[in-house]
Every structure is written in structure tokens, then in C-alpha cells.
Chains A and B, each alone.
Chain A
Amino acid sequence: MAGKTYAPLKGIDNTGDVPGPRTPLILENKTYGQITEQVCSVVEDPKVHRTWLLSFMAAVTFLGVLFSLIVYLIVTGVGVWGNQIPVAWGWPIVNFVFWVGIGHAGTLISAILFLLRQDWRTSINRFAEAMTIFAVVCAGTFPGIHVGRIWLAYWLFPLPNQMLMWPNFRSPLLWDVFAVGTYASVSLVFWYMGMIPDLATIRDRARHPLRRLGYGILSLGWRGSARAWHRYERAYLLLAALATPLVLSVHTVVSFDFAVSQLPGWHTTIFPPYFVAGAIFSGFAMVVTLAVPARAFYGMRNIITMRHLENMNKVILATGSMVGYAYSMEFFIAWYGGNKYEQFAFMNRAFGPYAWAYWTMVSCNVITPQIFWFKKCRTSIPIMMVAAILVNVGMWFERFVITVTSLARDFLPSSWGYFHPTIVDILMLIGSFGLFFTLFLLFLRFLPMIAISEVKSVMPFPKPTQKQPSEVESAPVPSVN
């Protein structure tokens, strides 16, 4: 097929949907060969783009800040953070939950949307999965350095030892180790396995023997035979089925960190699904935040089309509303339950000293996504960028509100306090973005950011007799009254 070209169709609006024929997901009517060329050329380009380099340098700088602060923390002790009684769980756990949440979209897109036959996932799954893994790396950092004696961090694992010392299996923090560990490993395997055919493509196109060797090792001897494809598809399905409950379980266990306690504002039964919805919400917001600049910079607008962005915005609207539902259930039951400590915890959130954080959270997480009821907003790049960033901010604040407000004012007024972050807290949060972006930019440069083989599976076969997107477009659009 490669070599034969058809007139590209530019500027097709594929967000409309005439009931009946399905609107094309991949635009510009390219051939398979052209899609391969388009995605691989990003990795094969010998020139390093200045924008990429500048972003990379900035990211590495912040990463350096994070590393130096980690060294400072280990040398000095966790007292360098603002964690102080009564708020002994401050920003580190807020950052941990925030980053784990970000890491939810990738596996949801690759596993759950796969099982639900949502074909549009193919354009975004690869870099969403990459993002998942990098977010989990960022997340793991915070509890990892919070253990105090970091040289004994391996005690988190139940390793047989001569002292017969075991971790506390009744602690949800230990469950976190297992939940996040399982999630990270399955996500990594899923991401890597899905990439093997594409890595083999890059290997086959490589001119330099070192590249051929590197990508050759990574592609595990993939030959593209029918048997290999058959096994690949089976493994993909099985991994998708295994990863699906993991999408739920990780944030469920993270929610247990709070909800198994007896602290007002933490202990409520809706926490598990509420945290999962919130995680998907923030994860999709991060995918939009990254997809919009990446598709523009690398010229992928025909693969990550407006329809993909619109669909993601719809997911943001749906999950944001679920989060709003959970907020209102918490509030209603706090009143209905009649427990005055619970009632106080919620009144304190909304009208106490942290009201500014609470209302930031509500306006970013519940009110902002409601603009996506309007198609104009769902399909406007500037609006969706602003909304996605606000959602990310709001979801960080959600974890801050949950963690800090409940701890700062518990049962005994004499032990109340107000949390103040230190400069180390602030710089570490910024530094974690450095870690995230460093990894993400390296991924964009060295690995195929689009799942080439999967995208091809949802393309209309480029035959001249095939109905062109332009013809679908010109079909009468029903009016809605």
C-alpha cells in the first residue's frame, strides 16, 4: 500500500456524528505506510528540536532540584517538611495520592476501553500508558522517602529475616505497597508488550547498526508472523482483563489509607469508588494537558483528532460529575448521620480556616468540568487546556483538603493547628513534575508515541472505492430541536 497516495483531506471535522455511519477516527486519508512514516520519523529524526531540548533542560533542572532535596532530606531528616503534629501527614502523602491518581488514565484507556471496544483509544493509549508509568514513579518516590530511615525502606516488603520482624499486615499503608507495586508492574508489562510490534518496525527501518541492535533487543525477535500476532492478541486480551480490576484496586487501597480510620472526614464508605472516579478524572485531565501540545508539536493532528480530545473531555465531565456526586453524598450523610464530629469536619472544610482550599477544589473539580456540557467548549483547544489544568490543580487540592483539614482539627480543640508547608515541600512538588516531564520527554524522543499497529486497525482501508470522510461529512446532518 505504501507509495500510493491519495489527496489528503484537511480540516475535516470528525466530531459530528450522523447516527448510522461511523465517523472516521483517523483523518487525512493516509496509507498505512504513511502512518508508519509519520510516527517513526519522530523517533528517527537525527535533529534535536530546540523546543524539545529547552523543555528537556528545564525538566532536568527541576529533576535536579528534586534529587538534591531528597539528599538534603535523607541527610537531615523528615523534619525539613512542614509535617508537624497535628498534621503529621502533609504534602508528601498529598503528592503521592495526586500522582497515583494521574497514573490511572493510561491503564483505563488501554485495558477498560479496550474491553469496551472503544476504538478511539488506539490513538492515545501509548503515551497515556507511558504517562501512567512515569506518574507511578513520581508517586512511589514520596512514600519511599517518607519512611524515615530510607536505608531500611526494603522493610516495606515482607522479607523473611532472623529477627522475625514483619511489616504490619493490618496497615493499609502496607497494602499500598502491594497495590501500587502490582499496578506498576502490570502497567509496565502491558505498555511494553503493546509496544513490541512497533519497536520491531523501528528496528526494521533503522539504518545505524547500534539503533538496530538497541531496538532489536527491545523488540524480542518480533517477526510479525501470523502465529506471533495470534499470541500477541491473546496476551493483550488477558493482560487487559487482569489490568481492569487493578485500575479499581489501586486507588481503592489508597482510599483505605484514609477511610479505615475513625477520623471524621476520612471515614466514609463511598471513598473507594469516589477515589477511583477522581483518579480517572485527574488522569484524563493530564492526558489532555499533554496530548494537546504533543499533537501540535509533532504534527499528529490527523491521528489524535479533535474527536479524541472531545471524547476525553466527555470522560472528564462524567468523572468530574461522579466526584461531585461523592462530595454531595459525603456532605448529606455527614448531616443525616447525626454525628456532630462528622458534621463539624465538613462545616470546617467549607467554612473553616481551609475554606479557600475547599472552594478551590469545588470550583476546579465540580464546576469547571460542567463547561464540557457544551460542544463549543469540548472542541476548543484553549478552553480545554485551561479546564484540564484547573482540574489538575483541583485534584491536588482535593487530596490536600482531605488530608490536612481532617488532621488539623480533630476531636480535641486544644490540639488543633494550622499546616504550613516549608520551601522544601513546595520545591519537591515542583521537582516531581521535573521527574515526570524528564521521563515523558525522553519517551517522546525514543519510543513510538502512537501505537502504530493499533491505529492501523481502526483506519478505513484506504481504497479509492471506500467512502471518503468528506462524503460522510456531506451526508445530511439531522437537526435537533
Chain B
Amino acid sequence: MAHAHTQTLTEEQTRLPARVASLAPGIIFGGLVLILAALGWAFATEDGLVHFQYAYLTGFMAWLMVALGSLIFLCLQHVFRAGWSVGMRRIPEMIVSNFWPWIIVAFMPIFIPICMGDTTVYKWLDPAMVNPTSPLFDQILANKSGYLNKGFFIGRLVAYFGIWTLMARFFVKNSVAQDADGDPARTRRMEMRAAPLIMVFALSLTFAGFDLLMSLDPHWFSTIWGVYLFAGCMISSVSSMILLLMFIQNFGGMKHIGPEQYSDLGKLLFAFVFFWGYIAFSQYMLIWYANIPEETTFFHFRQAGEWANFSLLLLFGHLLLPFPGLLSRHIKRGRKTLAFWAIWMLVFHFVDFYWMVMPYLAKKLGHGMEVVFHPMDVLIWLGLGLGLFGLTLSRAKRQSMVPLRDPRLPESLAFENYY
């Protein structure tokens, strides 16, 4: 980009502003308080602990997608040898560096009950369901017990989180080490490994989606499920990156990121809003049209009673409103407008996961067609989100906020977005 201005970075710009670093523990603490408040509320409510488990799964999965989206974002930037994003690449790197240990720690309230064979959320963990002599016996589950059984399930979950942790470690370690040694071979190594890692990621995301979300109704199945989750994880991670960037900038950091990069992030957000709509439509359309009972159960329940309105909320909030909302170039380049849509999409990303998980709770509690909303659902989601953002920021003070010696940093600083 020959005619763009070349910027020089000051020492101050490359570091996390001291105010942000001092705020981070408070944010984490705030998140923790919200989760504890939700837990307290759960104890005081009838069926509260059951509700808590479902709400925790919803909130955790919604934010896990942010971390996974950041991971695939890093892979994609490396595999495409992208220049524009180098200046902001530390943001996704800091998000994924939370896999070890904090995302895994946050997963424990889901993982430990699974290990203990708790059947509140995953009813198929009940061995009686595959025991032919039991009154609960389910032939369909018995047929797939080779896959859906406790031991294999735990093994797979360990494998997914292990894979993601190692992937995150690889990218963060090399990128940070490059700040010190400036070795361009690190860039090459990340580019080369990113391609096969995308395949590993695709399979791990898909099967984790089958395991943690699709198996909530162990009879139901959809081959597009993994792609649907992928669309959601791109939307939520790009939104989170936008908000974290703006937050740091509000305290005077990372001033080298301007409308040029925001414009591209906005375009990605727009593209994946559209892509999500495409995938969600494909899944709905094909199941609705063929009208096969074992498939329609998923939508049938979400299309009746109060859930029908909730589904419409998802349709409008996740697709029909943000699509025209993000069309304009001015909106994507304006800080306030882009921040608005980033927050909006994070909220509706949560609504999406609520829509996937919570109807099963309504069914379980025998509430029929009611949306079983409880304020603790939002408290948990907010608490986990604050935790993730706070931990990301507190990680960020350990090193430069810019990949200082990335060979493509000059290109990124001089980057200009023509259209």
C-alpha cells in the first residue's frame, strides 16, 4: 500500500495501558460475584440447581465459542498470510491463551457432573437407558451406545480441550517469542502448521458440538450441526475482538488500530451474520420440508407455545436486523455504531445458545411450551463473559500488545481499506 502513511509505534502504544491492567482483577472479580449470586439464587429457587446446570452450559458454550472462534481466526490469518490483521492479532492470541487453565477450570462445573454420571443434563449417561431389562430401556440409545457412553464421552472431552489448549499454546508461544528474537521462520512455521490445524479444529469443533449440545436430545441428529456452530463462533469471536480493542483504546492503548481494521472486522461480522443465516436456513428448510418425525422434533418444540416467539426473536435479532444494520461502510467504520452491533451480536449469540439448550430444560421440568427464563441465566452468561474479558486483559499486560517483530507488521500499520 504505497500511498498510505506509515506509522511508527511508540513504546506506550505497544503496552497495555496501566489503567486497563489495574481494572482487570476487578472485572474478573465482578464476573465471579455474578456467578456466585446466580448460584445463591439457584439454591433459593425450586428446581434451581437443575436450572443452574442448564444455564451454566448455555453461558459456557456461548463464551467457549468466542475462544474457539479466536483460535480459528488465528489459523485463518496465518494460512492466508494476512497482512491487515497483524496489528491486532494479540487480541485473539490473548483470548485463546485462557484455555489453560481458566477455560478448563470454567468447564469443570459441566465436566465433573459428567464424570460422576449425573444425568440432569445428559440423560443418556444413565446406564439404565441402555439396559434391556430396565423399564427406561431405549433401543435407539442402545444402538448408539458405542459412541454415547460415559467413558468414551469423557475421553473425547479431554481430547477436545487438550487439542485446543495445545493449538492455542503453539500460536501464542511462537508469536510472543518472535517479539524477542524477530525470527521470520516462526511466521513460516505458524503458516505451515495452521493448515493441518484447521482440519483438526474442524473435526474437534464438530464432534464437541455433537457431544455437548446435540446429544442433549440423544435421538436427534443433523449433519450440518458443526457448520452451524462454526458460524456462531466466528460471529461471537469477531464481536469480542472488536469490543476488547475498543475497550483498550478507550484507555489510550493500541492507537494504531483505526477505521481501516474496524472496517475489515465489521465486514467479517457482516459476512458471518449472513453465513449463519444461510446455514440456519438450510438446516430448518430441509427438516421442515421433508417433515420426517425423528428430525422435526427439534424444531417442533421450538415452534410451539412461547418458544415460537423466542424463535422469532432469534430470527430477527440474529439475522434480519443486523444484516441491513451492518451493510453500510459508515457503520463498520464508526466506533459507536460498530460497538453497538458487536454488543448486539454477542447478546443474540447468547440467545442462539439459549434457544439450543433451554427448551430441553423446559421439557425436563415439565413446563411444556413455556420459556423457562430465570435472571440467573443472564447472570451466569454475564459473569462468565466478564471473567473471560477480564482474564484476557490481565494476560495482555504480560507482553507487548503488538507483535512487534512480525515481518508483516509494517504492512499492517500502513494498511488502507479501499472498499
Residues of A within 8 A of B (CB): 17-20, 22, 115, 237, 245, 248, 252, 256, 259-262, 267-273, 321, 325-326, 329-330, 333, 335-339, 373, 478-481
Contacts and interface: CB of A to CB of B under 8 A. Distances in A.
A18 B294 CA distance: 54
A20 B407 contact: yes
A271 to B, nearest CB: 7
Nearest to A116: B80
Nearest to A267: B290
Contacts of B191: 19
Interface string B382-419: 00000000000000000000000011101100000001
B286 interface: yes
Interface string B188-224: 1101100110010011001000100000000101111
B279 interface: yes
Contact of B184 (A19, A248, A259, A373): A19
Nearest to A375: B192
B179 interface: no
A259 B292 CA distance: 12
Nearest to A172: B289
A481 B290 CA distance: 52
Nearest to B410: A20
A132 B191 CA distance: 32
Contacts of B226: 329
Given A248-B278, A271-B286, A479-B185, A19 B292 contact: no
Contacts of A17: 81
A167 B154 CA distance: 53
Contact of B188 (A333, A335, A339, A480): A480
A245 B274 contact: yes
B223 A262 contact: no
Closest 8 CB pairs of A and B: A20-B407, A270-B223, A478-B185, A19-B407, A19-B187, A269-B224, A272-B282, A260-B289
B126 interface: no
A267 B407 contact: no
Contact of B185 (A248, A336, A338, A480): A480
Interface stretch (B40-48, B61-69, B127-135, B139-147): B139-147
6 contacts: A248-B278, A262-B290, A262-B292, A268-B286, A269-B282, A329-B226
A478 B81 contact: no
Contacts of B410: 20
A336 B140 CA distance: 9
Contact of B192 (A321, A336, A480): A480
Nearest to A314: B195
A479 B184 CA distance: 9
B110 interface: no
Nearest to A20: B407
Contact of B282 (A252, A325, A373): A252
Nearest to A328: B203
Interface string B46-86: 00000000000000000000000000000000000100000
Contacts of A270: 223-224, 227
Contacts of A18: 184, 407
B362 interface: no
A335 B143 CA distance: 9
A25 to B, nearest CB: 13
Given A269-B283, A272-B278, A273-B227, A478 B184 contact: yes
Given A18-B184, A260-B286, A333 B223 contact: yes
Contacts of A337: 221, 294
Contacts of A373: 195-196
Given A260-B289, A333-B222, 9 more contacts: A17-B81, A19-B184, A20-B184, A22-B411, A262-B292, A272-B278, A329-B223, A336-B210, A373-B196
Contact of B223 (A245, A252, A330): A330
B118 interface: no
A255 to B, nearest CB: 8
A315 to B, nearest CB: 12
A18 B188 CA distance: 8
A269 B290 CA distance: 11
Nearest to B220: A337
Contacts of B290: 259-262, 267
Nearest to A236: B419
B419 A237 contact: yes
A278 to B, nearest CB: 14
Nearest to A170: B289
A20 B129 CA distance: 59
A245 B290 CA distance: 24
A321 B200 CA distance: 12
Nearest to A276: B278
A20 B412 CA distance: 10
B221 A333 contact: yes
B120 to A, nearest CB: 23
B183 interface: yes
B287 interface: yes
Nearest to B139: A338
Of A271, A333, A481, most buried by chain B (CB within 10 Å of CB) is: A333
A267 B292 contact: yes
A149 to B, nearest CB: 28
Given A329-B206, A339-B294, A269 B286 contact: yes
Contacts of B195: 373
A430 to B, nearest CB: 34
A478 B174 CA distance: 15
Contact of A338 (B144, B203, B206): B144
B188 A478 contact: yes
Contacts of A19: 81, 184, 187-188, 191, 406-408
Contacts of A480: 185, 188-189, 192
Contact of B224 (A245, A273, A481): A273
A20 B405 CA distance: 10
Nearest to A461: B2
A269 B223 contact: yes
A480 B191 CA distance: 11
Contacts of B222: 269, 333
A338 B140 contact: yes
A335 B145 CA distance: 11
Contacts of A326: 223
A115 B270 CA distance: 13
Nearest to A252: B282
A268 B287 CA distance: 8
A267 B206 CA distance: 20
A262 B294 CA distance: 12
Interface string B327-370: 00000000000000000000000000000000000000000000
B143 A259 contact: no
A273 B282 CA distance: 9
A333 B294 CA distance: 13
B294 A268 contact: no
A479 B186 CA distance: 9
A59 B219 CA distance: 54
A330 B210 CA distance: 13
Given A272-B278, A480-B192, A321 B199 contact: yes
A382 B117 CA distance: 57
Contacts of A267: 286, 290, 292
Interface in B276-309: 278-279, 282-283, 285-287, 289-292, 294
